[in-house]
Every structure is written in structure tokens, then in C-alpha cells.
Structure 1
Amino acid sequence: MSKSAPPPPGIYVPAVVFLNENDELDIPTIRAHILRLAKGGVTGILVQGSNGEAQHLSHAERSLALRTTRETLDANGFKDTIVIAGTGAQSTRETIELCREAKEAGASHALVLSPSTWLPHMTKENIIRFHRAVADSSPIPTMIYNFPVVTAGIDLDSDTIATLAKHPNIVGTKLSCGNVGKLHRLTSTLPASEFAVFPGTSEVFVPSLLVGGAGVIGASVNLLPKVHSRLYQLWKEGNTEEALKIQALLVHGDWIVKQIGGIGGLKAIITKEFGYGSGRVRGPLVPVTQEKVDALAQTKLAELLAMEKDNI
């Protein structure tokens, strides 16, 4: 069996999903957000990552969010923009089912979290068995999602990920652990044409590029697609000095977003700065207060948002 192809290098956004006053998917606002991201120059959109509140949505809602994303991109001239589906679940069977549904809804790749409900049973051997079983049955190539914060502290090491990378249908990883050393071990071991290694946070975007990272899949791209695209373009042009100037702002901006309150903070900032959606999140998450959003006025994030609106 030949090796499946990874997603191309570039800027990917784990898109937030918007909810209306009835706690249902707000399709018009989701479309508006996807279109702004695409116009901002992103390479691809991750639907139902952690920022998309995947674990709080039904299968039907997850498929609807995926279809809405693919249809919005296609209808507006962005047919080449990649759609990746988060397909994490707590059983092998359901994860495979989500991968199949993701293909039907228009995704080209699946990003798979390791299960964590039965933590004592999630040995290295069992994690490898799980990801291989999913990849065996998934109709689209899979990627390993390493995010200890949402997997009860499970943090896959580079040896585990490199072992999984030998599977013909496992084609990449998102390292939301932010470990550049781990990323470098993988990029210096595995060919980029077969296995894409993405950092999962903008604060290590350029450091990851320096050691062979494939780009970024970062939450802050929800706010700053043009800024990230500009940085990446500068990097590809060899203008490292100017790229590092933007990175110096991003390392502060990314931290501020995390401090404000994650998903709810992202949505609240989008509403204030770009005029659509609301800060609604699905429980047990809670929305971020307006006071926290207003406190951004004198921060590095405010400077980045001004750059975004000025088209860099």
C-alpha cells in the first residue's frame, strides 16, 4: 500500500463554531467566519478541532459544520482550500465512524485525538494500537493530534509519533504541546513529503519553521489570518528579519488570547472586532466577560488586530 499524501504546508485554522440564542449552530455566522478566513489567505480549515467544541456536538452537528465549511469555500472560489476534520472520540469504533462521516461531508484529512476516559489503560502500546486501527479503516488520511490539555495529560513522545508515521494512512501531526524539540526530532527523522509536522500554537510558529515545521494550525488564526499569511509569505521569501518582527508580536498575542479565556475569548473578540457572531459557547464552557475583552485595548494583541484590519 502506497503512502497517502499529507496536507500541504501552510496556515491552518482550527475554526471556532458559532451558536445562536437557541444553542444551535448559527449557520450564517459560521459561513461569514469561514469566508473571512479564506479571504485572509489560509491554506486550510480544521473543523471540529478543540476550538470547534467537537466534543460538545452531535454527529449530525459535526457533519453539518463540515458540509457548511466545504460548501462555503466551494461557492466562493476557494475550492483549493483544504478542509480537515477533527474526528476524536473515546472509542475506536466511533472514531472510525466519524472519519467516514467526515469524508462524506467533504473533508480530505482527519485529525485524531487519543482517547483519555480510561486513562490507566492508555499505555503507549494501546495508543499505537488505537491510531493504527483508526487509520486502517479511515477512508481519508489521518493525522495524530497531541494535546495534553484535553487528553487528561497524555503527551505522546516523538518515538511514539514516529512509530505511527510508518503507517501508510497516517500522514502528519498537530503538536499542541508546543514542544519544538519534539517537532524537530520528527522533522529530522521523517520526510516532509510523507509526514507533515505542524505546531499547534502561533507562539512557536517561526521557531518551528526554522526546524522544518509544515506551517501552523493555531487558534489565533481565527483572529489574524492575514497576519499569519503575511508572516509565512515573508518567511518563504527569505525575509526572516521581518517575519521575526511579526513573530515577536504573535508570541505575546497568543498568550493574551489564552489568558482571556480560550474559545469564549476568541468568539468575543471576533464579535467586537469584526462584527459578527457572539461569545456563546456550549456548556460546561462559559462565555468571556466584556470587561476582559475591553482590557485588550493597550496590548500587543490590539496591535496585531490593527495590522489585520489594515491588510498588513
Structure 2
Amino acid sequence: MHGTGPPLVTPFDADGALDEAALRDLVGWVEDRGVDFLVPCGSNSEAELMTAEERTRTIEVVAEEASVPVLAGTGSPGKRETLAATDAAADAGADAALVVTPFYYGHDQATLEAYYREVADESPVPVYLYSVPVFTDVTLEPETVGRLAEHPNVAGMKDSSGDIGAFQRTLDRTADADFDLVVGAGGVLGQALAAGGTGGVLALANVAPEATTAIYEAHAAGDDECARELTAACVELNHAITAEYGIPGLKYAMRRRGAPAGHARSPHRPIDAEAKAALDDHLADFEDLRGDL
């Protein structure tokens, strides 16, 4: 995947049910603002709070509406469930599968490498590795990724570590492979692109897709200084919708911008008045920035 794409939020209604109409509208909302691909059932999609049937239906709806590639999250702690979800996603219209590192149990790098080889051997669509240590406490090391990049059905990786040094080391170890390395941390998008990354899967692209598109386009035009400056201008908003206020804050910010984000699912809780005021301030700063995009 090249360019930028959101780990698309899943709109739920006030009772917690999947709102398919809002999801269809949301696909159009982010596509109209320039995203290059879509990632249903990722971390910001609340996929871990959904049933397998709901995840498959979400992917199907997104694939029906999308005019850009669909990279579907299908990873689970075990291979059997991951492969079942990957098969279902492929049948639903996904172009590729984003497979998070197995979590809950601890695994060493050799085990992770063997697992991904087994998944890639059996997957009907290209596999993208996904390292997100903040949620899983598991990190795919650059050396492991370098070896996996040689597999013909391993197409790339989303690196959400936020560690540009490790990102560069991974780039070095995958340089000779046909391998996409995308960053999952919006606060370092410009730096990751300048280092050689191919794009980003970013929570920020849910609420401010114009910004992530502008950052990528600046890089593509050869202006990495502009890409870094735009990234820096979005750091506070990105931090607020990820580390500070999480998915409820992200969905609130999206609704404030007119996106049909719906509600967050339990056990998430709505943000309080103080958080709303802080997010409103960040959104006001973003509206000021939009004139420069």
C-alpha cells in the first residue's frame, strides 16, 4: 500500500449495533478527502469488541463502497482464527490482510517468524505484518521483518512503534524485497516518508484526512521539509485522538468535523466536558491549518 489510509472507525448506533448506513457514508467522507486506501477492522475500528460475523460484514460493506484498495485487519492470537478471518475477508472483497502480532501469550522472534510464514503460506491474499507494541507488548524486530520480506505472499508491514530508528533499520533490511513499509504513528509520518516509507495507516486520517493526504503529497513532490512541517502542525491533534482520549475522543472529533463516526462500543465511555473542550481547541487549530493544505 502506498499513500495514506485510515484504520477506519466502525460507526455504532446508540445501542451499540453496527450502523451500516453510517459506515457507507464514512467511506465516502474519507475518500472525498483524498485517502489512498482503507483499513477496516484495525485497532481504531474497535475490531476486538466485535464478533467475527460483524467484522466480516464490516469488511464487506467497506469493500462494496470503496473505490480504493481495502487492507482488512484479520489478526488474532491464534493461527486458526487468523486464517478463518483472512479467508472471510478475502471472500468479502478485501485486497490484502493486515495481521497483528499474536498477543496474550509471549512469543520470541523465531516463533513469530514461523507463525507469519504459516499464515502467508495459506492466505488467499497478500499479508501485511502489523507491529503495535503499545497494545500487544510485542515488537517485530527489523531482522525478523527482513527475513519475512522474502516470502512471496508477505507484501509489507505497518509499524506502529513510533521508533524512527527501528523503522530505518527495517527499511535497510527490506530494501531488496518488493515490500511496503508504512508507519502507524501520525506524529512521525513526515519523518517516516523521508526515511523511505511508502505511506501510513493513521488514526489521524480518520479525523483529518486532508492533512495526511497533504503530507504524503508534499513528500511525493519532493518537499520533505514541508511534509515534516505539516506533520509537526498535527502532532497535538494526533496525540489527543490516540494516546490522550482514545477512540471515544477520536469519534467525538470526527463527529465535530461532520464525519458519520457513530458511537464507541462498551466498555468505552463517552469523554467528559473537559476533554471535549480540549479537542475543540485542537480542531480549531486544525481549521486554521487547513488554509495551508
Q: Does the CA contact (< 8 Å) of 2:219 and 2:227 recur in 1? A: yes
The separation in 2 between residues aligned to 1:192 and 1:39, in whole angstroms, is: 35
1:12 is aligned to 2:20: no
Match of 1:156 in 2: 140
C-alpha change, 1:270 and 1:187, in structure 2 (3 Å) is same
- Residue 125 of structure 1 aligns with an amino acid whose one-letter code is A
Q: Does the CA contact (< 8 Å) of 2:11 and 2:260 recur in 1? A: no
The separation in 2 between residues aligned to 1:257 and 1:158, in whole angstroms, is: 28
Shift of 1:144: 0.7
Match of 2:100 in 1: 113
Match of 2:70 in 1: 83
- Residue 288 of structure 1 aligns with an amino acid whose one-letter code is I
TM-score (norm 2): 0.94
- Residue 141 of structure 1 aligns with an amino acid whose one-letter code is P
1:99 is aligned to 2:86: yes
Q: Does the CA contact (< 8 Å) of 1:13 and 1:44 recur in 2? A: yes
- Indicate which of 302, 306, 309 corresponds to 2:284: 302
The separation in 2 between residues aligned to 1:17 and 1:197, in whole angstroms, is: 25
Structure 1 runs (4+) greater than 3 angstroms displaced: 275-278, 305-308
Shift of 1:55: 1.3
Q: Does the CA contact (< 8 Å) of 2:132 and 2:161 recur in 1? A: yes
Please state whether the residue corresponding to 1:11 is helix, strand or coil: strand
Shift of 1:249: 0.6
Q: Does the CA contact (< 8 Å) of 2:129 and 2:154 recur in 1? A: yes
CA-to-partner distance for each residue in 1:177-222, whole Å, 9 max, x for gaps?
Answer: 1111111112223237611111101111111111101111110110
Shift of 1:252: 2.4
CA-to-partner distance for each residue in 1:265-305, whole Å, 9 max, x for gaps?
Answer: 11111112216343x22222222224312223434x43224
The separation in 2 between residues aligned to 1:259 and 1:48, in whole angstroms, is: 19
Query: After alignment, is 235-244 or 217-226 more displaced?
Result: 235-244
Please state whether the residue corresponding to 2:151 is helix, strand or coil: coil
Please state whether the residue corresponding to 2:6 is helix, strand or coil: strand
TM-score (norm 1): 0.88
The separation in 2 between residues aligned to 1:219 and 1:86, in whole angstroms, is: 14
Q: Does the CA contact (< 8 Å) of 1:224 and 1:305 recur in 2? A: no
- Indicate which of 203, 217, 220 corresponds to 1:236: 220
Match of 2:108 in 1: 123
Match of 1:289 in 2: 272
Match of 1:4 in 2: none
C-alpha change, 1:275 and 1:186, in structure 2 (3 Å) is closer
Shift of 1:244: 2.8
1:202 is aligned to 2:186: yes
- Indicate which of 10, 21, 24 corresponds to 2:14: 21
Superposed CA RMSD: 1.8
* Structure 2: stretches of 5+ with no match in the other structure: none
Match of 1:3 in 2: none
Identity score, percent: 29
Shift of 1:135: 0.7
* Structure 1: stretches of 5+ with no match in the other structure: 1-6
Q: Does the CA contact (< 8 Å) of 2:240 and 2:246 recur in 1? A: no
